[in-house]
Amino acid sequence: NEFDSRQLKPFLYESKNKAKVVAMSYYQCPEEALENPALMREWANLGVAAALRAATKKTTGKKRETNSSRTRIVSMRHSP
């Protein structure tokens, strides 16, 4: 994927007892995207697409949850 090909690293944190470092499923964006809104939007879209793919994999073969408290991803509007 694009994150791996650019050697972007996942976010890490230490467990409560500091026994191990845990890798999150969230990745850093490239530094140049921090100062460029258009480029950041592209990277954010890559991240959202990855999250949607992961959510689809989790629900495949399972009964869909109908609980209204379930987290939903909604479309975001961006100003030009």
Those residues with Cβ within 8 angstroms of residue 70's Cβ, 6 or more apart along the chain or in another chain: none
| pLDDT for residue 31 | 92
pTM: 0.57
Nearest to 40 by CA among 50, 49, 32: 32
Provide the 10 A C-beta neighbour count for residue 27: 19
What gap in Å lies between CA 20 and CA 16, rounded to an integer?
9
Confidence of residue 63 (pLDDT cuts 50, 70, 90): low
pLDDT at position 73 over 50 = no
pLDDT on residue 79: 47
Average pLDDT, the chain: 78
What is the Cα gyration radius of the chain?
16
What is the rounded distance in angstroms from the CA atom of residue 6 to the CA atom of residue 19? 29
pLDDT of 61: 57
